[in-house]
């Protein structure tokens, strides 16, 4: 169920994605939200950190976990600009996040067509502000090709 709060938090995830863009990283951003407050933020930093784990979702989960002092993020929502990959979807499940909201789909690396069964207890909303999220990716790859 998309609502005003959803848009507000997706805009924050887009702010994070723009941080990645400025660092020449694939522009993906994420926030973890609990009771209407942002607990954790993250943007993709794979190249800068030389780590495949440094995806936006993982960075946001680690940041929220540190703030809470608990790796169990039950009741939290994760907003991310792009459909999570397999690894990040696994981390979302392991963290016991209750709701996942993502912007644009990622047919090549996204989880949705690669899992046999979606987990119970995780609400998923897709396509929120998808155009904005996708345009940011499009601009990034256009710039990359021109280099």
Binding-site residues for Zn(2+): 55, 85, 88
For residue 60, state whether it binds a copy of itself (rule: CB under 8 A). no
Return the SS3 of 108.
Answer: coil
**Residues contacting 146, CB < 8 A, separation 6+:** none
Nearer to a copy of itself (CB atom), residue 87 or residue 124: 87
Of 57, 108, 120, 123, which residue is the catalytic one?
A: 57
Nearer to a copy of itself (CB atom), residue 14 or residue 43: 43
CA separation for the pair 17, 145 (Å, rounded):
19
Using the structure block, give the residue that is written with the tokens 């907003």. 79
106 is annotated as an active-site residue: no
Candidates 37, 69, 108, 142; binder of a copy of itself (CB under 8 A) is 69
Binding mask 108-147 for a copy of itself (x = CB under 8 A): -----xxxxx------------------------------
Longest Cα–Cα distance in the chain: 44
Ranges within 34-53 binding a copy of itself (CB under 8 A) = 46, 50-53
CA separation for the pair 103, 82 (Å, rounded):
5
Where b means 16+ CB within 10 Å and e means fewer, 60-92 reads bbbbbbeeeeeeebeebbbbbbbbbbeebbebb
Catalytic residues: 57
Q: Which residues lie near a copy of itself (CB under 8 A)?
A: 46, 50-53, 58, 61-62, 65-66, 69-71, 85-91, 93-95, 113-117
């Amino acid at each position: 169920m998309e609502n005003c709060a959803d848009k507000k938090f997706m805009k924050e995830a887009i702010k994070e994605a723009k941080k990645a863009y400025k660092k020449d990283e694939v522009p993906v951003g994420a926030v973890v939200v609990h009771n209407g407050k942002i607990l954790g933020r993250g943007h993709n930093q794979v190249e800068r950190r030389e780590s495949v784990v440094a995806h936006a979702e993982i960075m946001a989960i680690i940041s929220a976990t540190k703030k809470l002092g608990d790796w169990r993020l039950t009741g939290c929502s994760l907003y991310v600009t792009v459909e999570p990959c397999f690894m990040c979807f696994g981390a979302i499940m392991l963290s016991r996040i209750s709701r996942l909201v993502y912007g644009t789909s990622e047919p090549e690396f996204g989880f949705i067509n690669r899992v046999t069964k979606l987990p119970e207890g995780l609400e998923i909303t897709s396509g929120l502000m998808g155009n904005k999220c996708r345009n940011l990716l499009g601009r990034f790859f256009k710039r990359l090709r021109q280099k």
